[in-house]
Homo-oligomer: A and B are copies of this chain.
Amino acid sequence: MATRGPKRTLTVEKVAATALQLLDDEGPAALSVRGVAAALAVRPNAIYTYVPDRAGLERAVIELVLSQSQLELLEGPARHWRKRIRDYAVSLRALLLDHPGAAMLMMSAPMDSPSALEVGERLLGVLADAGLSPTARARGVWLLIVQVVGSVALDVAETDGRRPLPPEAERVVARRQALSQLDAEVWPRSVAAVDVQASWVTSEQFVWSIDRVLDGLAAAAR
């Protein structure tokens, strides 16, 4: 079953790593089949030996990033189930914000990679510890995945996707500036809430949201 022959100069892993580096260093616009090929010093069509198409390249990049998440944070005593989920969510968010270009790709591909399955598998265990029924556990996993990945994606959507992102404080100031231009006659409640809405992209908002979700899941455990 050896797949390594003398002619092979690349591997899927090397292709994915090169694509991620391109995305990290040069931004979303730089990610292309041809760009990856050039970085690897091969012709564009050589890439198709390793991925079926551009979407496959993107999936490989997503998997590479997701495989670096700190799953061990999901371990711990049953009574700490909230903290285990919160800590992992915060850690995963930090990882994705460190690869903003890859984070953008996550909402346009199925969440079915091996690492995504592993995250689901572990979360099922944590929600079992929380006392949820088998059905509620599985539904809760999806609720959490949507919230974490969706939240990061919408945060990154306000940036150019280049790494590193501007510091959080800077992004909040820019948002406050933009929001303060709103017409208070048209959107009075939004204008009154400018400071909080400016902070929608912060880790405080992220943790607050996750905590509300955890409250909702705790209620489902009776």
A residues contacting B by CB (< 8 A) are: 104, 107-112, 117-118, 120-121, 124-125, 128, 134-135, 137-143, 145-147, 149-151, 153-154, 157-158, 178, 182, 187-190, 192-193, 196-197, 200, 205, 208-209, 211-217, 219-220
Whether A212 and B205, one on each chain, are in contact in the complex, defined by CB atoms closer than 8 angstroms, is no
Known: A146-B150, A209-B146, A216-B215. A196 touches B138 (CB 8 A): yes
- List, in ascending order, chain B residues with CB within 8 A of A124's CB: 189-190, 193
Across the two chains, which residue of chain B brings its CB closest to A28?
B108
Whether A189 and B121, one on each chain, are in contact in the complex, defined by CB atoms closer than 8 angstroms, is yes
Known: A150-B149, A189-B121. A212 touches B135 (CB 8 A): no
Neighbour of A219 across the interface among B107, B137, B193, B219, CB < 8 A: B219
Whole-angstrom CA separation of A145 from B197 in the bound complex:
12
